[in-house]
């Protein structure tokens, strides 16, 4: 696992070429480790005829059979006892099936190196005391979702002066805290500390709508940031585009382009993808992304839409090195973006099927419908 550590302390986080050999080696070690520690995983790979020696170059990563997230929702695979994990998470808090996921100590450290690097690159680390609007769940013992934990984690990168949550835990259930949020943003606007607004885009849209309804317009203190993540609705019921949401944030709160960030990560593949100034998720050295044909599962070239397969040697706690999500995405060449980052980026187009599998972001939009 030494190669993994080497990978996760790489300095130039978007220079994929320089890390290809390390990545391949780390991945090979990762798969071998899990095949040894997790008999169920070994059975799966054996059944699918996988041969570890077939991994000869970085182009062979697609030979590692990916585990579909829909499969993991019903079957948790562990390489270490769940009770011994350092950070435990479940995907999907309030509805649908849960995926157990988590970090052991060594994965946790690598994860921290990564988060620090990614956040520093995107200028999200600050020592200034910051006021937070958190458009998600107030932490509670009963809520172990990755999303709740991620939201809490985000507040560590700039020390919090005050935090206000959109969903507060009252009398055993979560309630929408509309008045509290409005009061908080008005208060924050009068102070000099920067503000950070983080959470689901659907909630952010609702928050902006509420401000507009009340004719509230303000310029938040310099360096205030918006960071949204998860829950961009699929093609067929897309309510608003990222660009439109940014325009609204700019108009109502004076958020500048470089301070509007989108974030992508999953419980099964906890790599941080943070959008560049052109709003694209470039692939960092910590992972590789394969797009697979929706019929044959063969890897596709850039600019073709297919199933999103995410690969990383991060986790030693569970055999989630290669994960196939329910997302349909397209890979594009880094040079097409123009932001200066050279690594390729992916765009999410939608989710499989017409009745897709429930995830926590979907439940959040249901929650929203319920309380409108």
Partner 1 sequence: MNFVNGKIVNESECDSVLERIEEMLISTLKKPPLDVNQVINACDTMVKNVESLEVMKKLPELGISKALTDIYMKQIKQMLSAEAIRARMRIELGENYDKAVTLRYVHSHATAVQTLTPLGVLFHITAGNVDGLPFVSILEGLLTGNINIVKLPKEEGGITVLLLAELLKLAPSLAEYVYVFDYSSKDVAAMQKLAKVADAIVIWGGDEAISAVRRMALPNTRIIEWGHKISFAYVTKEGATVKSLEKLAYHICLTNQLFCSSCQGVFFDSDDIEDIYEFCEKFLPILEKASQENPHALGEMAGLFIQAELTIHDYQRRIENQASATRIFREQNVSITAYADSQLEPSPMYRNIWVKPLKNDDIIKLRPYKGYLQTAALICGKNEHEELAQKLLRAGVVKVSDGREMSNYACGEAHDGVFTLRCYTKWVSVQDYDQSNTE
CB of 25 to partner 1, least distance (A): 26
d(CA 166, CA 169): 10
d(CA 110, CA 271): 10
Coil, helix or strand at residue 170 = strand
Nearer to partner 1, 150 or 324 (CB): 324
Using CB under 8 A as the binding rule, whether residue 71 contacts partner 1 is answered as yes
Using CB under 8 A as the binding rule, whether residue 305 contacts partner 1 is answered as yes
Coil, helix or strand at residue 146 = helix
Using CB under 8 A as the binding rule, whether residue 348 contacts partner 1 is answered as no
Q: Select the span of 23-31, 162-170, 339-347, 351-359 touching partner 1 (CB under 8 A).
A: 351-359
Q: With the C-alpha atoms ordered 129, 133, 139, 144, is the resulting torsion angle positive or negative?
A: negative
Q: Select the span of 167-175, 180-188, 266-274, 349-357 touching partner 1 (CB under 8 A).
A: 349-357
Using CB under 8 A as the binding rule, whether residue 354 contacts partner 1 is answered as yes
d(CA 302, CA 41): 30
Nearer to partner 1, 173 or 369 (CB): 369
Per CB under 8 A, the list member of 39, 159, 338, 353 interacting with partner 1 is: 353
CA distances from 212 to 165, 189, 205, 322 (A): 19, 15, 10, 43
Using CB under 8 A as the binding rule, whether residue 48 contacts partner 1 is answered as yes
Per CB under 8 A, the list member of 153, 349, 358, 365 interacting with partner 1 is: 349
Using CB under 8 A as the binding rule, whether residue 153 contacts partner 1 is answered as no
Q: Are 312 and 111 in contact (CB under 8 A)?
A: no
Alpha-helical runs (H) found in 50-200: 69-72, 105-121, 146-154, 178-190
Using CB under 8 A as the binding rule, whether residue 173 contacts partner 1 is answered as no
Using CB under 8 A as the binding rule, whether residue 67 contacts partner 1 is answered as yes
Binding mask 275-294 for partner 1 (x = CB under 8 A): -------------------x
Q: Are 305 and 329 in contact (CB under 8 A)?
A: yes
Nearer to partner 1, 15 or 70 (CB): 70
Task: Tell me, rounded to whole angstroms, the distance of Cα 27 from its chain centroid.
Answer: 21
d(CA 279, CA 262): 7
Using CB under 8 A as the binding rule, whether residue 369 contacts partner 1 is answered as yes
Using CB under 8 A as the binding rule, whether residue 235 contacts partner 1 is answered as yes
Q: With the C-alpha atoms ordered 289, 293, 296, 298, is the resulting torsion angle positive or negative?
A: negative
Per CB under 8 A, the list member of 53, 57, 179, 236 interacting with partner 1 is: 236
CB of 342 to partner 1, least distance (A): 29
CB of 22 to partner 1, least distance (A): 29
d(CA 31, CA 313): 8
**Residue 297: CB partners within 8 Å, gap ≥ 6?**
307
State the CB neighbour count (10 A cutoff) for residue 74: 9
Using CB under 8 A as the binding rule, whether residue 297 contacts partner 1 is answered as yes
Using CB under 8 A as the binding rule, whether residue 186 contacts partner 1 is answered as no
Question: Using the 8-state DSSP alphabet, how is residue 93 labeled?
Answer: S
Using CB under 8 A as the binding rule, whether residue 321 contacts partner 1 is answered as no
Q: Return residues touching partner 1 (CB under 8 A).
A: 43-44, 47-48, 65, 67-68, 70-71, 235-236, 294-297, 305-307, 324, 326, 328, 349-354, 356, 369-370, 372
């Amino acid at each position: 696992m030494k190669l993994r550590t080497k990978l996760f302390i790489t300095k130039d986080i978007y220079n994929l070429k320089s890390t290809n050999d390390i990545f391949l080696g780390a991945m090979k070690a990762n798969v071998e480790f899990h095949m040894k520690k997790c008999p169920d995983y070994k059975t799966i790979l054996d059944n699918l005829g996988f041969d570890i020696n077939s991994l000869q170059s970085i182009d062979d990563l697609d030979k590692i059979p990916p585990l579909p997230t829909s499969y993991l929702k019903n079957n948790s695979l562990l390489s270490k006892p769940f009770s011994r994990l350092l950070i435990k998470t479940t995907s999907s808090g309030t509805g649908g099936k849960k995926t157990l996921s988590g970090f052991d100590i060594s994965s946790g450290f690598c994860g921290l190196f990564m988060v620090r690097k990614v956040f520093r690159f995107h200028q999200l680390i600050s020592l200034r005391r910051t006021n937070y609007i958190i458009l998600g769940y107030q932490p509670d013992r009963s809520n172990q979702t990755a999303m709740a934990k991620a939201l809490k984690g985000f507040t560590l990168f700039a020390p919090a002066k005050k935090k206000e949550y959109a969903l507060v835990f009252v009398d055993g259930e979560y309630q929408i805290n509309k008045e509290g949020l409005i009061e908080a943003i008005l208060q924050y606007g009068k102070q000099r500390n920067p503000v950070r607004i983080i959470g689901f885009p659907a909630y952010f849209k609702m928050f902006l709508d509420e401000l507009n309804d009340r004719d509230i317009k303000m310029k938040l203190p310099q360096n205030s940031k918006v960071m949204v993540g998860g829950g961009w609705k699929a093609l067929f019921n897309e309510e608003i585009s990222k660009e439109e949401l940014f325009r609204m944030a700019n108009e109502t709160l004076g958020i500048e382009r470089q301070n509007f960030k989108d974030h992508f990560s999953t419980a099964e593949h906890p790599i941080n993808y943070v959008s560049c100034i052109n709003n694209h998720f470039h692939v960092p050295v910590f992972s590789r992304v394969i797009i697979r044909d929706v019929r044959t599962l063969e890897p596709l070239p850039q600019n073709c839409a297919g199933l999103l397969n995410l690969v990383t040697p991060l986790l030693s706690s569970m055999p989630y090195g290669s994960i196939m999500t329910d997302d349909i995405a397209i890979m594009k060449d880094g040079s097409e973006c123009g932001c200066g980052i050279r690594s390729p980026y992916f765009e999410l187009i939608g989710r499989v099927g017409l009745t897709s599998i429930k995830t926590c972001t979907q439940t959040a939009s249901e929650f929203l419908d319920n309380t409108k």
